[in-house]
Structure 1
Amino acid sequence: MTQSTFRGPGAGAGPLMRVWAASEPAPDRLENEDHLLQYGQLVGVLDGATVPEGFETGCVHGPAWYVRQLAARIGVAAARRPYAALAGNLAAAILAVRADHEGRCDLDHPGTPSSTVCLLRHDGDHVDYLVLCDSPLVVDRGDRVEVIADDRLETAMAELRQSALAVAGTGAGADPTIRFRRAVTLQRQQMNQTHGYWVAAANPDAAFHALTGSLPLGGADGVRRAALLTDGASCAVDQFGLFDWRGLLDLLGRDGPAELIRRVRVAEAGDGGPGRRRHKRYDDATALFCDFEEAP
């Protein structure tokens, strides 16, 4: 688990941001396709899309390579333009990773490597955020907990499952393999499309479809705490129901992100292990927790 403390830029920098983070690959996988990002006042989590067995990507690299490259390029963009809009910096990072492929890959392939992105930047008296695809940001604003989530992938998948059922059928004679392969094929066709969902891949325009905004620090509705999560960690609430969102923040603040991941692993290994709406038993899990304290 990593721990860092940042002070906002400029005079009257506002609250300190203390950061705790942990990331762990799925127990049945050697390589972690999640990634943590910490660069100055900018923190983030990324979740690379796992390539199902038997599917091509048109790329000689894998999801783990893609998330590492994208995180590094986001850091470079932040170094060059520390106060630029997060969407603009993400677009620049995606464009830079295109060049990192060095012409060896078919970046127009529907299975080209992709990643979710969740970013939070401490900027004195406020924080800026960006959420792209299904890695949510959870913020404690005193009397309420707010979840900033991009649900377009979930909406698209619900529709795709219905289409897959129409092809593979239902009941005892249905073929789940055909249904799954059909759903994956349809999902790829919906990636970075107006009526589908948006994710960081090869098209920099996706960055401008992210959910973005700013939230105050301090005051009655100011952000006290925040959690950036990949779906392998957010499933503690929205799939396994281990606690509610405020309970998740309480656990992170009390016991840290590694304990959250441990509890997810226990749930995955239990009777409900395969998880609701999952095609795999385990998933990579990453959680980053920010606590904002007034400077002395």
Structure 2
Amino acid sequence: MHTELVSEPGDPTYPNEDFAAATLPASGQGGTLVVLDGVTPPRDGTGCLHSVPWYTSRLGGALTELTVSLPDVPLQEALARAITRTAEAHAATCDLSHPRTPQATVVVARWGVETLEYLVLSDSALLVESPEGAVTSLLDDRLSRLPRSSLATDAIVDSTVRNKEGGFYTAAADPAVAARAVTGVLPRGDVRALAALTDGATRWVEKFREGDWADCFRFVRKEGAQALVDRVRMLERADAEERRYLRRSKTHDDATVVYVEL
């Protein structure tokens, strides 16, 4: 197994809110990857004493451990258990019912001799390449399908669409959200390589229109994960004043890319 992992903060003076891990179990058969993108909170608080990096580290660490140590537990159940474990770590000190209690997007892939399982929750992406070179994007596109009016302000988002029926879902404090994830199983022989990207890296496709998902995957395979992040940073700097592509989005976002050749 060959792996590349790059994760960079959008602002070097502020902690990276992403989490990424790639593991090879002791058996030497199969592996896992876990990528989280912490949701940057509004300035008026989250009801929690802890930071988003604290949350993503806890959730990501628990999810990585569970997907490796319990290979027969479905990924949705592993995510639910990881959310529960993380919630229990701060339920006594924090208001976990707050709509902006620390939360994150999730991508998980786990493969063995015969199958590859995947889970995607919210707007990070998982790209899978077949032995013939075809690239499939595995996405949870509910956020992108919402009308712009429902995303106009933090208050509107939190009251109408965040972790609500008809809206979009992120991993926060309620383990039931795991059942809302996009999941599936692929034959192991149908997968040659895969890449997981947080939305700071998917800007290459979704904001700057440098190519489609297949082009993005081929760029990472040829040039490397770091090259994709570097290209996004260059495009962000070029658009910083004109705001042709970024519009209301922050100039730089945490960007994580994990590339795995099986």
TM-score, scaled to structure 2 = 0.90
Aligned to 1:34: 18
1:112 and 1:202 in contact (8 A); partners too:
yes
Q: Which amino acid aligns with 2:145?
A: T
Residue 208 and residue 27 in structure 1: after superposition, are their counterparts in 2 closer, same or farther (change >3 A)? same
1:233 and 1:286 in contact (8 A); partners too:
yes
Counterpart Cα distance in 1 of 2:247 and 2:62: 32
1:28 and 1:282 in contact (8 A); partners too:
no
Q: CA deviation at 1:79?
A: 4.1
Q: CA deviation at 1:35?
A: 0.8
Alignment of 1:55-204 (within 5 A): 55-141=44-130, 142=132, 144-156=134-146, 158-161=148-151, 164=152, 183-189=153-159, 190-204=161-175
> Cα RMSD between the aligned structures?
1.8
Aligned to 1:225: 193
Counterpart Cα distance in 2 of 1:91 and 1:85: 10
1:157 and 1:187 in contact (8 A); partners too:
no
Q: Secondary structure at the match of 2:210?
A: coil
Aligned to 2:225: 257
Aligned to 1:284: 254
Q: Secondary structure at the match of 1:118?
A: strand
CA deviation string 1:109-139 (max 9, x = no partner)? 1111110000111111221100000001111
Counterpart Cα distance in 2 of 1:203 and 1:39: 26
Larger radius of gyration: 1
Aligned to 1:269: 237
Counterpart Cα distance in 1 of 2:69 and 2:129: 31
Counterpart Cα distance in 2 of 1:49 and 1:119: 17
Q: Secondary structure at the match of 1:266?
A: helix
> Between the two proteins, what is the percent identity of the paired residues?
35
Q: Which amino acid aligns with 1:21?
A: L
Q: Which amino acid aligns with 1:84?
A: V
2:111 and 2:188 in contact (8 A); partners too:
no
CA deviation string 1:237-296 (max 9, x = no partner)? 11111233222222212221111100000000003675435431100000011112xxxx
Q: Which runs of 4+ in 1 moved over 6 A?
A: none
CA deviation string 1:188-231 (max 9, x = no partner)? 2222211211110011001111000011232xxx1222110000
After TM superposition, the structure 1 stretch with the greater mean CA deviation from structure 2, 248-257 or 120-129, is 248-257
Structure 2: runs of 5+ lacking an equivalent: 25-30
Residue 228 and residue 238 in structure 1: after superposition, are their counterparts in 2 closer, same or farther (change >3 A)? same
Residue 13 of structure 2 corresponds to residue 23 of structure 1: no
Structure 1: runs of 5+ lacking an equivalent: 6-17, 165-182
Counterpart Cα distance in 2 of 1:277 and 1:118: 26
Aligned to 2:27: none
Aligned to 1:240: 208
Counterpart Cα distance in 2 of 1:108 and 1:194: 17
Residue 130 and residue 259 in structure 1: after superposition, are their counterparts in 2 closer, same or farther (change >3 A)? same
Q: Secondary structure at the match of 2:256?
A: strand
Residue 119 and residue 277 in structure 1: after superposition, are their counterparts in 2 closer, same or farther (change >3 A)? farther
1:35 and 1:47 in contact (8 A); partners too:
yes
Q: Which amino acid aligns with 2:235?
A: A
